[in-house]
Structure 1
Amino acid sequence: MQQTNHLETLIHLYEGPFLLNNKKGNISSKVPFDIKKGSVPILLSMPHSVVHLRNHKLKEADDYTGSIGLIVQSLTNCYSLYSTRLSEEDPNYVKDGLYKKELVQLIKRHNIAAVIDIHGASLKREFDIDLGTLHGKSIKHAYVENIREIFNRNNIKDVRENDTFPATHTGTITSYVYTYTGIPCIQIEINGKYRNPLADMENIRSIIHSLVDIVDYLSVEIVV
């Protein structure tokens, strides 16, 4: 019970800045994203941690993806790049943009070995997790199978690949990283039932444990 209360407090602490201004984040910030650096050259991306624009229309934030990613970053000492406020672009839709340029610069400056792009899917989706890999182009099949197994070990069973969100649109972060850097990249769509600490703390704990294990796995498997 004490551990659950601690995690819940931590999640709400990290999520707080993303909730400002009706989930538009810190709208007074000059730069619409922030960076956490570490010693492990795996990078977590959370581009939809706040409300974002797509085709001039507001789209909802992927709730708790920001706080989940920041907790995983703190536990693994990897890198992270994440949106902090509403900007003029949707980082996972525009074909270029500030977010992606910063991402590529981070990859080059810090010899990042792999990128994990974290997103939130609707509760209405049938899957627990959908792994977007450009139909196998952006990351080796063996890595995907081990990632699937990590989720399964943490009691997340319905893990699909390229089921609904294959990340094939040229504006996705996974497509951009694959095209401009060639390093392994995977888009992870997490069903809403695994992202709501108010509804189920055990589910969100399973997601955090899984992502920590995935970062640890990739840091050993890929980093030389």
Structure 2
Amino acid sequence: MTKPKPGKLFVYGTLRKGGTRSGHLERCRLLRMMKVPGILYRTPFGYPAAVFDETSPLAVWGELYELPSDSELFIGSVDRLEGVDEKLFSRSVIRLEEESFYVYEPGPELRRQISDGNIIKSGNWFSAPALCGEDPFSFAVSFENIQKQYYRMKPDGRSEENIFLEGTVPVLVTCPHSTAHTRMGKLKRHEFYTAALGAVLHLVLGCHCLYANREQGTDPNYYDDCGFKAVLERVLSERRIDLVVDIHGTGNERSEDLFPGVGDEREFLLSAPDVLDKFYLVAEEYGITAGSADIFPAARQMTVAKFAAKRFSVPAIQIEISDRLRMPWRREEEFRCLIEFLLGFVEKVISGKMDRNG
């Protein structure tokens, strides 16, 4: 009897969300992040190659996608993209945890180009932009072009409603409003480019990132009883997190570009009161106007910042970003400046922590 062909694909390099070729998977559905036993290699051509082995002590980070209905035609197009006929890559099937999916491994031509000296021990191609060759601006735009299909996509029980990107530094970036959500019975629109900004901080600085990947039945920044907070609780319980940076979008009615939220009396900063000073300092360096911390204190509802600070004693800051800065299609320079500000702010926080710890 012929075995059924997999309807899923695991990708780990340039096809990953935000990668230079991620647009090819526009018709696929991201199911979840996952690790597959194997070894990831750097190649001399600007993309990675993975050799999968269930006995390997290392693992390859990637994304599992559901293929479109014309799966055989579609996977044929991926074969051409990956150079299967040219023996650059070969397609195989892996079975892991009761699930079968396609993967691409180096073919004979490519295997001659890799060695133990090319191993990426983290297993994550997006562990550093210099390594994966991604420009943060282009990455954010590519990421959001994929993310937009999930703005109003309802949970289907087969895919993760919230995506967690494992980082390497003790800063967690959260983006609970990257998809539509319901508050007090009313559907609220997504806050565009918030997940993309969180993913950039993961890509460049190695921050952990948690973002909404399906329409949320309740507002994660208003209620505690929701799936996003359940994942957040697990992350905060299982990992060392020194700061939560909760990213949001706001309208452009006010003249300021950014607004920090740290509680009515700055109580969410706990043992890190200098975080707010660094926020204002870096904003000034990049010519971004930062408003008062009293405008959006993040204290009145059950916000993510309050949840982290009150329940887990983790310092937290909510950042509200004006629409003006989140429009790369219309205001490219402002968006680039926003990226540089966020990177500069979080990097200053990280370096400050390292100075105090050693």
Structure 2 length normalisation: TM-score? 0.57
Match of 2:243 among 106, 114, 124: 114
Q: Residues 8, 177 of structure 1: CA spacing in aligned structure 2 closer, same or farther, 3 A cutoff?
A: closer
Offset from partner CA, 1:168-222 (integer Å, 9 cap, x none)? 1241111111111111100000011011101111111111111112221222223
Whether 1:55 aligns to 2:184 is yes
Match of 1:143 among 268, 275, 283: 275
Higher helix share: 1
SS at match of 1:138: helix
- In 2, distance between residues paired with 1:67 and 1:94? 23
SS at match of 1:147: helix
- In 2, distance between residues paired with 1:26 and 1:141? 39
Matches within 5 A, 1:15-164: 15-20=144-149, 23-25=151-153, 27-28=155-156, 30-135=159-264, 136-139=266-269, 140-156=272-288, 158-164=289-295
- In 2, distance between residues paired with 1:161 and 1:106? 30
Per mean C-alpha deviation after superposition, the further-off stretch among 81-90 and 159-168 is: 159-168
> What is the match of residue 190 of structure 1?
321
Per mean C-alpha deviation after superposition, the further-off stretch among 29-38 and 197-206 is: 29-38
- In 2, distance between residues paired with 1:40 and 1:54? 33
2:136–2:200 Cα contact (<8 Å) kept: no
1:170–1:176 Cα contact (<8 Å) kept: no
Which ranges of structure 1 fall in alignment gaps of 5 or more residues?
1-5
Whether 1:172 aligns to 2:303 is yes
Match of 1:214 among 345, 349, 353: 345
Q: Which one-letter code corresponds to 2:213 in the other structure? A: T
- In 1, distance between residues paired with 2:232 and 2:195? 16
Greater Rg over alpha carbons, structure: 2
- In 1, distance between residues paired with 2:182 and 2:353? 34
Per mean C-alpha deviation after superposition, the further-off stretch among 7-16 and 134-143 is: 7-16
- In 1, distance between residues paired with 2:137 and 2:351? 30
Report the identity percentage. 25
Match of 1:181 among 308, 312, 316: 312
- In 2, distance between residues paired with 1:196 and 1:101? 31
Q: Which one-letter code corresponds to 2:329 in the other structure? A: L
Deviation at 1:8?
A: 5.0
Deviation at 1:128?
A: 0.9
- In 2, distance between residues paired with 1:26 and 1:37? 24
1:150–1:210 Cα contact (<8 Å) kept: yes
- In 1, distance between residues paired with 2:342 and 2:319? 10
Tell me which stretches of 4 or more aligned residues in structure 1 moved more than 4 Å: none
SS at match of 1:72: helix
2:179–2:216 Cα contact (<8 Å) kept: no
Higher strand share: 2
Which ranges of structure 2 fall in alignment gaps of 5 or more residues?
1-134
Per mean C-alpha deviation after superposition, the further-off stretch among 192-201 and 160-169 is: 160-169
Work out which structure has the larger RCO, using CA pairs closer than 8 Å and 6 or more positions apart in sequence: 1
- In 1, distance between residues paired with 2:231 and 2:139? 27
- In 2, distance between residues paired with 1:169 and 1:32? 26
- In 2, distance between residues paired with 1:80 and 1:7? 15
- In 1, distance between residues paired with 2:160 and 2:212? 9
Count of aligned residue pairs for this structure pair: 217
- In 1, distance between residues paired with 2:224 and 2:216? 15
Deviation at 1:108?
A: 2.2
Deviation at 1:25?
A: 4.2
